[in-house]
Structure 1
Amino acid sequence: MFSTHLWLKISLVICLTLNFSQSLAQEIYDETYYQNHQIQQLTIPDKSLNFLVLGDWGRNGHYQQRPVAKWMDVAMMQLDGEFIVTTGDNFYSNGVASVDDPYWQSSYETIYNGPHLFEDWYVTLGNHDYRGNWQAQIDYSNISRRWNMPNQYYAKTFAIDDKSSVLMIFLDTNPLNPDYKNEAKYAETQKQDGAKQLAWLEHKLATTKASWTIVIGHHPLYSSGKRYGTTDGIRGVLEPILEKYKVDAYYAGHEHDLQHNQPQGTTVAHYVSGAGSEVRPVAQREFTRFAKSEAGFAAVSVTKNALLTQFINASGQVIYQHQIARNKK
């Protein structure tokens, strides 16, 4: 004969099982799911190349990582998105140990599991990734079909239509950041030849025939957040090159928020998409166009004549839109 205590345990297990089953039922991705999950204010340009930009995200599903992933899937569906870009700090706090690290499952594969997130991911490295085995993130490209990082830095050109295209350059800003030269915990970043990467960057920008040029890196050159006033080092390295070649947009992470910064007299539009999980406070600065301490990501749409950036929060709301016209070169 079962005791009352045992019956209570059995009842609790049954309730938990039912609740788990119900939650699984709610995650069935079908027509009804997407009819009930729409980003109402999302602008979808005609004949555009569409992709998402996500930064500072890998936290085992903690903070707002899961709801951000949910709305990324919806955004990719609505936009018919082609790929996803990361701005680094893919795994907190100390990167991954190897390609077999359980973190790949608990913080990536089982979090970004919506059907529209199984497109190509183009990945950049952040400072926290260098605290672990950064080479494993390159090597994971040979294991995962969607994870793409052929090197610490690389470039790829995407066609918009028959006559226009966008060059996307994925930098490794860690060895380029003078702030890390004397930091023991980031000693690994200094083993790369930064001068070689900069020469490669200049060559790519000088020789491209693409209609648009977009650069992705981890460290922002301007910040309206925690690191306001402390980005002079990396800005001094990169801004002269980006301005010289009239790069259209620079997307960064590192700051755990969403920002658009545009200092007077500059050509490059500076965006921060580093709100993939945890967020930090921001403030209005002299160069701030927009800054919000909300979890979320950026949706980018590029057409022959315009580049549109939309920030989407963890509740599936468009909280900012900014469009720039094609830079006549």
Structure 2
Amino acid sequence: MFKYTTLIINLLFLSAICSAEQIHDESFYQKNQIENAIQLPESINFLVLGDWGRNGHYDQLTVAKWMDIAMQKFDGDFIVTTGDNFYSNGIASVNDPYWQTSFEDIYRGPHLFEDWYATLGNHDYRGNWQAQIDYSNISRRWNMPAPYYAKSFTLDDGETVQMLFIDTNPLNPEYKNRPKYAATQIPDADKQLAWIESQLQASDAKWKIVIGHHPLYSSGKRYGKTDGIRGVLEPIFEKHKVTAYFAGHEHDLQHNQPENTTVAHFVSGAGSEIRTVAQREFTKFAAAISGFIAVSVNSNALLVQMISGEGKVLYHTKIMQELN
């Protein structure tokens, strides 16, 4: 009886989503415009979404709507996740209904059917994290070939953008003695660190971008509590001149730029639930507002725009490519 009741509730929920949706035709995109959006010519364009999988609750639905509009606006190429893809305890298997009610039926706008490159968060490790890798063999758009992996994208002039999608959970010293996150200690952390080092060292890409879950600096809840993961990753990022690091974990939008680092640090963890932030000594921007990040990169610049769940560009910054 319980199973049938759950099924009926899920069907009613999905019916409400469908009935609330507007028809996504040309007039829909003309009517819904992102305020103050900036276009970067001849660029690769992608969105960064974090801490999102909540079955449509909080602001997940409105964020999904504006992600679709942003992908149409910027002619988006793909979508990146910074982890915590499924709250609160991950998923059970590739057949878990959560795939439908928290992913497939939420991100259903026509421009969201591009490649999704996913990373794992700590909440994903509280479930069957291997199932998120295996789902890559079922879904056309979900891509997670391994807990960590690399992608390279070619710009119009032939230069490349190197992107590393890393698994910060086994690298984070905070989880070594926490029973709730015991599964994070199963992967070989040293092996991954050696892989990150070798990937960055061998790369001659014009832009080096790393995607992970845990921020190295935070203006939010974990301000002053990121020393562990920072000590592991920051020396590698600085040594190999990583351009930008995108993380989640904090439920907000942030740009942090400490004086002692050349790496730009961004947080995109406002995909559904949000938490408060504050102005810190290294804060360039921080907002407790639901939303996501839009990134455009060409041969000359990397443009980051933080877009709210109401379709407004809250903040933007541009990193210029240094001339050799």
- Structure 1: unaligned runs, 5 residues or longer: 1-16
Identity %: 68
- Structure 2: unaligned runs, 5 residues or longer: 1-11
1:40 CA displacement:
2.8
- Cα deviation, 1:271-292, whole Å, max 9, x if unaligned, reads 0000000000000001100000
Q: May I ask how many residue pairs the two structures share in their alignment?
A: 311
**1:240 and 2:252 aligned:** no
d(CA) in 2 for partners of 1:215, 1:328: 22
1:26 CA displacement:
5.1
SS of the equivalent of 1:67 reads helix
- Cα deviation, 1:229-253, whole Å, max 9, x if unaligned, reads 0000000000000011110000000
SS of the equivalent of 1:283 reads coil
**1:268 and 2:291 aligned:** no
The residue that corresponds to 1:160 in the other structure is 155
TM-score, L = length of structure 2: 0.94
**Contact 1:157 1:165 survives alignment (8 Å):** yes
**1:49 and 2:44 aligned:** yes
Give the aligned residue type for 1:157: S
State which of 126, 142, 145 in structure 1 corresponds to 2:140. Answer: 145
1:14-93 counterparts in 2 under 5 A? 24=19, 27-93=22-88
Give the aligned residue type for 1:243: E
Moved over 3 A (4+): 20-26
Give the aligned residue type for 1:56: D
**Contact 1:88 1:254 survives alignment (8 Å):** yes
Give the aligned residue type for 1:216: I
d(CA) in 2 for partners of 1:57, 1:40: 23
**1:318 and 2:313 aligned:** yes
Q: Which structure is larger by alpha-carbon Rg, 1 or 2?
A: 1
d(CA) in 2 for partners of 1:52, 1:283: 24
Root-mean-square deviation over aligned CA pairs: 1.5
Give the aligned residue type for 1:277: S
1:93-242 counterparts in 2 under 5 A? 93-242=88-237
**Contact 2:157 2:299 survives alignment (8 Å):** no
1:21 CA displacement:
9.4
The residue that corresponds to 1:4 in the other structure is none
d(CA) in 1 for partners of 2:289, 2:26: 29
State which of 288, 291, 302 in structure 2 corresponds to 1:293. Answer: 288
1:23 CA displacement:
7.0
Q: 1:45 to 1:104 in 2, by over 3 A?
A: same
d(CA) in 2 for partners of 1:108, 1:27: 19
Q: 1:213 to 1:22 in 2, by over 3 A?
A: closer
TM-score, L = length of structure 1: 0.92
